[in-house]
Chain A
């Protein structure tokens, strides 16, 4: 059972990493608009298809 002396701190380390990532995501405004990003996947797929056909300005 003494293994928990090692395993629990490791688990805590992961918790800390998870929290740090969440805080970073909040700070970089990823939670400001939750609707749009859900849609982006629908559109991007079409995008890559369309791009070679119509290379605009660049």
Chain B
């Protein structure tokens, strides 16, 4: 389909040719891509909130004309369900909402502002970082569904959300991190200031009493850093030692404690030198690294944990010929429930009566709806498209497939990303040698050389070789690389991928939703009956399809006439619209002063022979046939060209067995194609590649890809993918742009270069300083200057990664 270069005022997506949705802003008419965006933009401007368009930094997400869940909102008003979701606070109710579709901070403002003058709402606070909203309101004045609907009209999807205990834990930990950072940061400044006094005192002479005073104050200021800020390192080192292992936190802890105790001894006994400033700075810098890492993890969790919202909350229990709203969690085995069109199925079950097509994309990643008949299984969390079903429950919600996946999810989130194996090896190697050298130095000096200098020489050995630079080398570089990638829109959940990415040799792509857009658009319209124009027929089709929940119907949305179908002035007059489940629609159409019988749907439904997916007949004569495609993402070509340049092999691996897969492969010039693969076969293919010595990256979007995610070295999920796939993947691309994949590879390569430079420097420095220190040539002062300089060099080298 050809498109014009005009972009939608609301969502910045391309407006299809012949689009006629306009909205007035600042006295000028602006184009919109679809009636959904038009309605949203109109609401926003009419409410006097047009500031949103002036100050937002990112376009809004495309608004859906008929959000399917909208009809379901009513069930939230039911007292029993409300009691499960909200907490009573006096006469007000408090609830947490999860909002999707927020793109920047202006969205948060928009929602808050909309409710500022609402008397029923006591407090509504939106957190744009987590896409959550806290609402305190009076349910007697306004039911929850009305408030949710009002947010819907602004173009956001909103669902009640029950935060789990783990999330509370994350929040608490975030606060702890901030506090630890503040303590170590502010104390470092103070101690550094005092240290400068001591440095100058050393050169120009300082009275003993002042020197002692400054040392005692420094000691006092270092205490909270040691006791509070350094706690995570101490704990981690303790855990490692208990398991008889050495990790990087062991030398860190050893270094800070040894340095601190030596300085403490020097202060109390008034001999030797103090290194409090080094201790503080070291703790602070490492803490910053840990903080960034934690923040990335929290962000990843927030972005994906909204998963819980797909847990259905209410169900219609069918009892004695009447339906009754109950909480989904209270459903029991053998209960019979009623599921209306457009509703989410609240439990795993077997269909008793009715037939419908069901969207299971939440669980399987396939967009094509699945036809269901009596005695078929349906899964909790899938969406019932067009028929009314009665379902006998066979598993309660918590034991359903969905419930189990969510549980599994939360378990995997507990596993913290393991430290880079390489660094661990270095740490083990280094710590062992260091301890041996230090002990040997002490013994040799004590017994053979100078008994009185033994302690201080050993100290300078330990200080000079303090693995600061070494232990900062990798984490700082990785932190900076993560921050840079995050800014580009790449979220890395598992740091290990940065190590394997530079060695990448092969990329596997999933087809549907990854290489293609995962939604249908109109490719070609053939008009067979020249009595009608193409635009006339498309408009007719659009108004007919409006009644259907089928994903194909969405392709016609841009062709709706200005007015909503219920409007009297609508140019397309329809009567007796009837939906034939899974096949098509028929209706009477007022055209040229007479009612005509129209049908839209599959060729067999329209009783014509045509290869196109959608046919339209008027009075049983074929009027038009429409070919739909799942279009290839426009940016793929650039990505593939770049991967080719880097000598990275590519393959498509898809569950689709049709010739469509071949077409896509040919179009993209990818020779290796595995089609019709089950999830197990996909895993087998990837294992084959890894056994052949390839470093494999897998890009996918559905839950059917997630087994491969574990098999590949690196797994990447798209933001448009299912929540489950985003949870499983190592990397999530935050924008729907696959060229970010190249950014990811580039970032990893740069990170590896910087890590290597840092390690060479740190090792080189240590190799020079250790022999000198062991021989007693290095006074502790020189040791501390050397240590700080090498640490600073390493950190500033890593900071280069932030610039691009």
A residues near B, CB below 8 A? 1, 4-5, 8, 11-12, 15, 18-19, 22-23, 26-27, 31-36, 38-40, 42-43, 46, 50, 54, 56-58
Contact = CB atoms under 8 A, between A and B. Distances in A.
Nearest to A22: B182
Interface stretch (B78-86, B102-110, B573-581): B102-110
22 contacts: A4-B213, A8-B194, A11-B190, A12-B190, A12-B217, A15-B186, A15-B187, A19-B186, A26-B182, A31-B178, A32-B129, A33-B108, A35-B105, A35-B129, A36-B126, A36-B128, A40-B109, A42-B51, A43-B51, A43-B109, A50-B48, A57-B118
B109 A26 contact: no
Contacts of B106: 39
B183 interface: yes
Nearest to B182: A22
Contacts of B48: 50, 54
Contact of A33 (B51, B117, B130): B130
Contact of B186 (A18, A26, A36, A39): A18
Contacts of B113: 43
B303 to A, nearest CB: 14
A1 B207 contact: yes
A55 to B, nearest CB: 9
B117 A23 contact: no
Given A40-B109, A43-B109, 9 more contacts: A22-B186, A26-B178, A27-B175, A32-B130, A34-B129, A36-B105, A39-B105, A42-B55, A54-B48
Main secondary structure of the interface of A (DSSP, over half): helix
A19 B182 contact: yes
Nearest to A42: B55
A42 to B, nearest CB: 5
- The 8 tightest CB contacts between A and B, nearest first, are A35-B105, A39-B105, A36-B105, A33-B127, A56-B117, A33-B129, A36-B128, A36-B108
A12 B660 CA distance: 72
For this complex, into which size category does the number of interface residues on chain B fall?
20 to 34
Interface of B: 48, 51, 55, 104-106, 108-109, 113, 117-119, 126-130, 171, 175, 178-179, 182-183, 186-187, 190, 194, 207, 210, 213, 217, 221
A57 B117 contact: yes
A12 B191 CA distance: 11
Contacts of A31: 175, 178
A56 to B, nearest CB: 5
A33 B128 CA distance: 6
A54 to B, nearest CB: 6
B108 A19 contact: no
Given A11-B190, A54-B48, A57-B119, A26 B128 contact: no
A45 to B, nearest CB: 10
A40 B105 CA distance: 9
Contacts of B51: 42-43, 46
Contact of A35 (B128, B210, B217): B128
B209 to A, nearest CB: 9
A5 B182 CA distance: 26
A32 B182 CA distance: 16
Nearest to A16: B186
Nearest to A46: B51
B179 A23 contact: yes
Contacts of A1: 207, 210
Contacts of A11: 190
Contacts of B104: 35
B38 to A, nearest CB: 24
Contacts of A35: 104-105, 108, 128-129
Contacts of B127: 32-33, 36
Contacts of A54: 48
Contacts of B179: 22-23, 26
A38 B221 CA distance: 33
A54 B116 CA distance: 13
A8 B217 contact: yes
A14 to B, nearest CB: 10
A47 B789 CA distance: 51
B117 A5 contact: no
Nearest to B189: A15
A18 B187 CA distance: 11
A2 to B, nearest CB: 9
Nearest to B210: A1
Contacts of A18: 186
A57 B118 CA distance: 8
A50 B207 CA distance: 66
B97 to A, nearest CB: 15
B105 A4 contact: no
Contacts of B186: 15, 18-19, 22
Contacts of B55: 39, 42-43
A2 B431 CA distance: 44
A48 B121 CA distance: 21
A22 B117 CA distance: 32
Given A12-B190, A15-B190, A33-B129, A58 B182 contact: no
A28 to B, nearest CB: 10
B105 A5 contact: no
Given A4-B210, A43-B55, A36 B182 contact: no
